Amino acid sequence: MEITTVGIDLAKSIFQVHAVDAAGHVVVRKALRRAQVVPFFAKLPRCVVGIEACGTSHHWARELMRLGHEVRLMPPAYVKPYVKRGKTDANDAAAICEAVTRPSMRFVPVKSTEQQAALALHRTRDLLVKQRTQLVNMIRGLLAEFGIEMARGLRHALELAARLSAGDAAEVPPLAQRVVTGLADQIGALQIQLTRLEKELLAWHRDSDLSQRLATIPGVGIVSATALAASVSEPERFRSGRQFAASLGLTPLQNCSGGKERLGRISRMGDRYLRRLLVVGMTSLVRRAKATPTSVDPRLPALLQRKPVRVVTVAAANRTARVAWAIMTRGGTYRAPAATAA
């Protein structure tokens, strides 16, 4: 019996394998240690290998593709319905093996090492920004205990810490002053690391034609453009811009019953990081539209007159995702809509 389909449940050290033949009969059901995975698949004839798209999945997909296998990555949420009983590694591998053969299954493109290196910059930058925010909030909370109210923003936190170190805040005990100064020093160190990472992102952006074209979209900066260019490997697998926006969780949930269709809030499924970047970028664009309406697409101020700000922001992010898909699939750069005659 020749193996045709294999499902593998990834882990740190113990990998579960479930293999079937052309008739669907189970041929192999075993656990492998990390060092045994490549030798095991090297002995197999070319077959379809199903893997959940999770941590280390792209690495193992590249390794198995080098051995000649056809590797298909699947979102874990799409594999879950095929799990028969309890949550075990063996049941997960069997579910992966069955799900990968479904004709309606959607697959995740395998990322290259260059793409994952760029995404490593993004993940590290995102972590450092969160840590910086935590430190600023910590300083604000500590000073509030001594009756000092600090305005929001990184600049105000650093300025207040400089005053404390200079001894300009007599109401704060010396011990607390030293604590706040130490926290401010950590913020300074994080700023240096963030500056280095942003220089690396800028260099990657200048070397990527796609990232430069995406940056022509209003509200899409270098961070969002490089994240889109590094994350989306095969934009043509989406049949339309709406499908791409739906993959980022920017389309409304549908509730249809009795022939009546109701649209709810956005699904918030898919890539959370890309969705957040697009929404943050559109938040900045909406603020600009409220301050200087003539500097943005005229449809945006008109929409702000009819809808709440947050609804407009998410709608603009949805539209931006569709524009990004068009640029990634058809080439070119962003073109502003032609002004309509009054």
Domain at 38, CATH number: 3.30.420.140
User: Which is more confidently placed, 164 or 207?
Assistant: 207
* Whether residue 219 is found in the same domain as residue 309: yes
Q: Are residues 221 and 313 in the same domain?
A: yes
Say whether both 241 and 261 belong to one domain.
yes
Q: Are residues 127 and 202 in the same domain?
A: yes
Q: What is the pLDDT of residue 255?
A: 82
Structure confidence at residue 197 (pLDDT): 95
* 3-class secondary-structure state, position 51: strand
What's the one-letter identity of residue 117?
Answer: A
Q: Tell me the backbone φ, ψ of residue 56, rounded to 5 degrees.
A: 70, 0
Name, in order, each residue with C-beta under 8 angstroms of 187's C-beta and a sequence gap of 6 or more: 132, 135, 136, 154, 157, 158, 161
Residues 181 and 231 in one domain: no
* Contact indicator for 217, 334 with CB cutoff of 8 Å: yes
Please indicate, yes or no, if residue 84 is contained in any of the structural domains: yes
pLDDT at residue 338 in the model? 67
Q: In 3-state terms, what secondary structure has residue 13?
A: coil
- Span 182-205, average pLDDT: 93
337 within a domain of the structure (yes/no): no
Q: 86-120, pLDDT tens digit by residue?
A: 889 999 999 999 999 999 999 999 999 999 999 99
Rounded distance between C-alpha atoms, residue 100 and residue 7, angstroms: 8
For residue 14, give the DSSP letter: E
DSSP per residue, 206-267: HH-HHHHHHTTSTT--HHHHHHHHHH-S-GGGSSSHHHHHHHTT-SEEEEEETTEEEEEEE-
What's this model's pTM, rounded to 2 decimal places? Answer: 0.87
- The label of the residue with tokens 């957040």 reads 276
Which range marks the domain in which residue 303 is found? 213-330
- The number of folded domains in the chain is 3
Q: Which pLDDT belongs to residue 341?
A: 45
pLDDT, tens digit, for every residue of 2-35? 899 999 999 999 999 999 999 999 999 999 999 9
Q: Which of 317, 294, 328 is nearest to 210 (CA)?
A: 328
